[in-house]
Structure 1
Amino acid sequence: MDKSPTTPAGGIFRRLSNFRKSAPRIRRRMSKKLSSSFDKEQEITEIFQIKETHIPSKPCSVLQIREYIKTDELKKAYVNLLSLRLDIEQKRGALEEGASDVDLVNKETDISMLFDTLKNKIADIVRSSTLPSINKELLGQVVTIVLEEKKKSEMMMGWMEMLRNAVRDGVRDSLKKVPLDKPEQNTSWLAVHLGLLGKAIEDDLKRVTSELLSSYPKDFNVFETYVSCYHEVAEEHLKEILEKVTDAKDYKTLLDFIIRSCPGDLRTDQGAVTLDQDFLKKIKSAYCDRLMENFKAELENIINLERDKVWKMKKTPNTTDEGFLTSQFNMEICQMTASYAQQLKEIDEDHGKMFVRFSLEEIHEFHKRFEEEFREHTRSLLTSDLLDLYLWVNYHITYINTFLLLKEQMQCYRESCLTQVVQLEKDMDEVTQRLRQTLMEHFKTDIKPYINGMMTKKWIKTDEDFTEVTSRIESYSGLCKSMRKPASQSFVNDVHYYVIKEYVSQLMKKKFSCKNSKNEEAADKMRTQWKELRKLFEEMGSSLDWLYPLGNYLSDIIGMENEKSIKDILHPLVSDYPDISKKQMSAVLYFRDNGFSLERHQVINQFNLLKRDTANIIHEHSFFIDMK
């Protein structure tokens, strides 16, 4: 058994229960020490019995009796009180019916006051009976008087209640002596105090078994009374301590002291003594509330640390062994949730589950605050140099990865907190989508000027704008490798779709029309650039395979020597991309040659027939309809 005063003495209530259970064995052992042939009750009765010969025929004065009580000569005081009681009874019997005697009334008042004084004195003796220096002779006089009153009066329960109250007061005095530091003096104040408290209770009860049991009759239930009083006073004391507790660790220490040691129903010979369940519930609730407050504060601290130590300091994000940009706060949140929930689960299963629900819901508020702070404190990176811009992109990828992992790691609570986990999944999907969309918008802004230079006279002569576009795609291709799936796949697909859509949409703007066989040159350039784009997006891992044939169809149409041959290409084009409109088809033909011809008119007619045949077909993809 650990008796270190620096530990919370987990087990004190269990030891109280064990002490009760061991009471019969202890009593039998003590009885054997006293006598091998007499019952303990018989011995006590015979040793402390008052015989009639002990009672003086004439009582001494009231002052003398009071002095006997004051000087601890209780037996002398008591036998004189008995004599005074007999004297009053005799005189009362001699009075005629209805008569009164002032002197007799005064004597009755005196004896009542003297018995009260005697009771108070007995209470003081019993109250201090667990002190290191126990006066067994005085205890013997106490037992003598109580046993005599048991024979002479029906008020025995009043005396026993007085004794129990005295024991409780003595226990209260004993526990008040246990050192108790202030929280500001010692961070381990409660653990130290509870350790000392447990040891004090244990030592006192050992003293009761070794030194007091031999002084009382069996039916006094002295041992059980002490255990019950220690339980009661300890609970009172813990309620007082609770008012000083503010930290989660101290609530946990207090709960460990109670729950891990208290079987819930500590029984005495007189009945059940149970821990106040409202009190226990109050501590559990306070502990749970404190952990919830701590959790919220830790989430806020995560934002503050990212702001002060990462964004403001322009710290480069860490990279995992797999090459993914990473932040650690997802692990911090998961560890906090698991740790706090486990701490609560150990003291109450329902509180543990409640905390998990709370933490999942609190993450909803956290990610909104995080996004606000992130946008506010990284906006300036966009207007700085290229290194800052690169850092801005990396931050977005880092937090995409972090929230993806948080979503994945919280799946362990799906069975117990389905509603909250589903909401968290939705939140994490939305926040990663917004971060991804922000990156996408920046990418669009970045390549827009160069995309707009496509399908012009300059474009036919030089690859300058196209090279700028591919350069930026390659940059993002490298960045995508540091982004986790499925976000990286979605981002690559978005980039692929946007580039192809913008590239093709330049044909629809009628900025340029080929002349003098320029259409063949334009078709060759488009075919070459399309192959380069395809290679880039295949390397990036785009899953939009259905976009690849489009460039071939368009470059073939643009490069045809005569428009009559174009009709052969229309069928696969319309079949694969049924949302292409007549206006868009006309724009492609315009880019090839803006001159009017009968053949061109026939191409459009053929196109219209094909569109009519595919009008009711539901196609898996759409493309041209998204162009302005």
Structure 2
Amino acid sequence: MEKSPTSNVKGIFRRFSLFSKDDGHITKKQSLWSLKSSLSEDKDKKDIAEKFEFEAKEIPLTPCSVLQIKDYIQTDMLKEAYLNLLSLRLELRLEQSSLGERECHSNLDNKKKDLDLLYDALMDKMSAIVRNSSGLPSCNKELLVYVSCIILEEEKKQGEPGAMEGWREAWKEAVLNGVRDTLKNVPLDSREQNASWLAVHLGLLGKAVVEDLERVKTELLSSYPADFNVLETYVSCHHEAVGEHLKRLLLNVTELKDYYALLDFIIHRYPSDLREQQRALIMEEDLNKIKTSYCHCQKEDFKLSLEKCILLETEVWKKKKSPERTEDGFLTSKIHVDICQLIAGYYGNLQKIDENLGKSVVSSCLEELNPFFTRFEKEFSQQIVSLLNSDLLDYCLWVEYHITYINSFSSLKENLQSYKDSCSAQVEKEVDGLTQRLRQCLMDHFKSEVKPYMDGMMTKKWLKSDADFNEVVSRIETYSGLCKSMRAPSAQMFVDDVHYYVAKEYVSQLMKKKYSCKKNKNEDAAIKIKKQWNELRKLFVEMGSSLKWLYPLGNYLSDIIGMEIEKNIKDLLNPLVTDYPDISKKHLLAVLSFRDNGFSLEKNSVINRFTVLKRDAGNTSHQYSFFTDIE
């Protein structure tokens, strides 16, 4: 059966045990000639035997001088140096043995010091050879064979007087230093030379690690016996050296893309076979610091991007550009699209590296939306306020801008639902608050437009003219058209707000005692109220108001006002109190006063009936409230 190169080398180590004890005396165990002969006789070891090329001579009976041995070491003649060191060690022990335990000789002390210094020099030289064997396209593998032979031979002598320890540890340290040297030679541009300096360097670093370990497998394994665990040692040393290298690189990392490149390398691109077999490249504490720094940088980057979004929208306002529309006719801007794309990009980039980090980054960025909404709203209000003092087209543009951002931020909230785990309730609250304030701003201006015309109703002038009412209708119709470009649910809320306000203001005019019908004018007023109320009803039905419970009220009130016989009004009270239980005696008196402010017993009869109905109803709660809002 053919033997492997590794087993051949192992045989060399077994035959390179040059000394043993025999009856208490140190003797030479095997000559170098017999070592060479045994190698030559084994045909399977021919290639290794040719590396050694030992001369046929035994260990020198008399070692050469210290200077000569030192020269052998310095010139990489490990065989000659080691054989003479063994001879020198044997000579020293024989001399010590002949002197006895109590005798002392200064010459022996000097010789021992020389021997120790030469062994130190040999260990240093062997470490240098091992260190230099890393990262080189080729090396003197025969020297590595001698290194491993010497290490094994010295390990056999552990425990003997004067034996030097730490050979295997020195070899491992030399391997590690060699790997460190290899990594130092990986090209590293400065940030000024290359904006992608770190990503490029880490790519080259990973390539260098893989190539170096491939070279170890193909070129260095045959120089060592199996128990050296060469490949495992080199893998471990690469792992340690790369970790050290990354910590040094981290000192110069300040930008987001560089933190990303570092995390990508550590978690994703570092060779998987190395990552799975070893401990973490860097301590978890350091990795968490990188992640925290990444989150901070990403948040600052997101903040700057949000500021750019505001600047882009500011250009739209300054140039009075009309908002864009979606295919289904809704007003919209790109602001929510840009924000969502930013967040999706952050999460997508990190998901393949570390999903939890992706969630942390998204959560961190979403927190930055809270102050962004405040900054946006302030800038928006300041920039477009001038549109209100201009012509009708500018005013319509002012309204369209509000609807645009109501739609955009409502869409933003919908998109944020996909990050429910990372999105705090505060963010959703802030979005809702902003869209509600934008709607309220529209509502306030609608109120300011219709209020003067509402105040002109329920008067003698109103009874003769529909001018004020027509102005109210005109403005409702204008806002109705604009609301068609507003998305649900904001559109529904706005329509309901308009409906409630118009109904409340219309009824409120009856309560202000501005006018009292005389000479049967109550019938004309009742007819007008019913007609106008039904016209408003038709408008709000078309607009899609959900406040259907308001529709009967105008008819109830007009019936009371138009009743010819006052005492019969009490028969009309039951549905009014049932459907609008928050109506008070004060409210009913105001309606009766509008009908006729004169005193009559019949009016007292109506009030008494109302009191009974309210008492019988008790404190029954009702789903809706209306009269409570009317003073």
TM-score range, shorter chain: 0.7 to 0.9
Please list, as runs of the form range in 1=range in 2, the aligned pairs for 1:30-429 lying within 5 A after superposition. Answer: 32=4, 34=5, 39-43=8-12, 45-46=14-15, 51=31, 53-95=57-99, 97-130=101-134, 131-154=136-159, 158-260=166-268, 261-262=271-272, 267=277, 275-278=281-284, 279-306=286-313, 308-414=314-420, 416=421, 422-429=425-432
1:48 Cα deviation from its structure 2 partner: 10
Name the Cα RMSD after superposition.
Answer: 3.1
Q: Deviations over 1:533-586 (max 9, x none)?
A: 111111111122222222223333333444345444334333433333333333
Moved more, 531-540 or 579-588: 579-588
> Using CA pairs below 8 Å that are at least 6 residues apart, which structure has the higher relative contact order?
1
State the alpha-carbon separation in 1 of the partners of residues 157 and 610 from structure 2.
124
Runs of at least 4 residues off by over 6 Å: 47-50
Note closer, same or farther for the CA distance 1:275–1:539 as it changes in structure 2 (3 Å cut): same
State the alpha-carbon separation in 1 of the partners of residues 259 and 144 from structure 2.
41
The reply to whether residue 623 of structure 1 matches residue 592 of structure 2 is no
Q: Is the 8 A contact 1:126 1:163 kept in 2?
A: yes
1:117 Cα deviation from its structure 2 partner: 1.7
The reply to whether residue 593 of structure 1 matches residue 596 of structure 2 is yes
Partner of 1:452: 455
State the alpha-carbon separation in 2 of the partners of residues 625 and 577 from structure 1.
10
State the alpha-carbon separation in 2 of the partners of residues 224 and 545 from structure 1.
80
Partner of 2:23: none
Q: Deviations over 1:239-287 (max 9, x none)?
A: 22222233333333333333334468755xxxx6554442444433433
Structure 2 alignment gaps of length 5 or more: 19-29, 33-56
1:42 Cα deviation from its structure 2 partner: 0.9
State the alpha-carbon separation in 2 of the partners of residues 221 and 601 from structure 1.
111
Q: Is the 8 A contact 1:367 1:431 kept in 2?
A: yes
Partner of 1:7: none
Structure 1 alignment gaps of length 5 or more: 1-27
| Secondary structure of the structure 1 residue equivalent to 2:166 | helix
Q: Is the 8 A contact 2:73 2:125 kept in 1?
A: yes
Q: Deviations over 1:117-138 (max 9, x none)?
A: 2222222111112312312343
Moved more, 423-432 or 489-498: 423-432
Partner of 2:24: none
Q: Deviations over 1:133-158 (max 9, x none)?
A: 31234334434433443444455761
User: TM-score, normalised on structure 1?
Assistant: 0.84
Partner of 1:539: 542
Letter in 2 for 1:474: E
1:401 Cα deviation from its structure 2 partner: 2.1
Partner of 1:24: none
Letter in 1 for 2:535: E
Please list, as runs of the form range in 1=range in 2, the aligned pairs for 1:419-568 lying within 5 A after superposition. Answer: 422-568=425-571
Note closer, same or farther for the CA distance 1:547–1:206 as it changes in structure 2 (3 Å cut): closer
Note closer, same or farther for the CA distance 1:421–1:174 as it changes in structure 2 (3 Å cut): closer
Note closer, same or farther for the CA distance 1:468–1:266 as it changes in structure 2 (3 Å cut): closer
Q: Is the 8 A contact 2:458 2:510 kept in 1?
A: yes
Q: Deviations over 1:65-94 (max 9, x none)?
A: 222222222322222222322332233333
User: TM-score, normalised on structure 2?
Assistant: 0.84
Note closer, same or farther for the CA distance 1:232–1:625 as it changes in structure 2 (3 Å cut): closer
Q: Is the 8 A contact 2:189 2:201 kept in 1?
A: yes
- Percent of paired sites with the same residue: 58
Q: Is the 8 A contact 1:566 1:603 kept in 2?
A: yes
Q: Deviations over 1:329-374 (max 9, x none)?
A: 3344444444434544444454344445445544444434433443
Partner of 1:4: none
Letter in 2 for 1:452: D
State the alpha-carbon separation in 1 of the partners of residues 228 and 608 from structure 2.
115
State the alpha-carbon separation in 2 of the partners of residues 273 and 556 from structure 1.
87
Moved more, 147-156 or 402-411: 147-156
Moved more, 600-609 or 252-261: 600-609
Q: Is the 8 A contact 2:332 2:405 kept in 1?
A: yes
Letter in 2 for 1:229: C
State the alpha-carbon separation in 2 of the partners of residues 182 and 363 from structure 1.
35
Q: Is the 8 A contact 2:158 2:165 kept in 1?
A: no
Note closer, same or farther for the CA distance 1:263–1:389 as it changes in structure 2 (3 Å cut): farther
State the alpha-carbon separation in 2 of the partners of residues 343 and 474 from structure 1.
49
Q: Is the 8 A contact 2:242 2:281 kept in 1?
A: no
1:46 Cα deviation from its structure 2 partner: 5.0
Note closer, same or farther for the CA distance 1:447–1:376 as it changes in structure 2 (3 Å cut): same
State the alpha-carbon separation in 2 of the partners of residues 312 and 405 from structure 1.
24
Note closer, same or farther for the CA distance 1:284–1:346 as it changes in structure 2 (3 Å cut): farther
Note closer, same or farther for the CA distance 1:263–1:373 as it changes in structure 2 (3 Å cut): farther
State the alpha-carbon separation in 2 of the partners of residues 188 and 427 from structure 1.
38
| Secondary structure of the structure 2 residue equivalent to 1:510 | coil
Note closer, same or farther for the CA distance 1:136–1:459 as it changes in structure 2 (3 Å cut): same
Moved more, 150-159 or 97-106: 150-159
1:530 Cα deviation from its structure 2 partner: 1.9
Moved more, 545-554 or 577-586: 577-586
State the alpha-carbon separation in 2 of the partners of residues 152 and 561 from structure 1.
130
| Secondary structure of the structure 2 residue equivalent to 1:54 | coil
Note closer, same or farther for the CA distance 1:205–1:614 as it changes in structure 2 (3 Å cut): closer
Note closer, same or farther for the CA distance 1:564–1:220 as it changes in structure 2 (3 Å cut): closer
Note closer, same or farther for the CA distance 1:171–1:558 as it changes in structure 2 (3 Å cut): same
Q: Is the 8 A contact 1:209 1:223 kept in 2?
A: yes
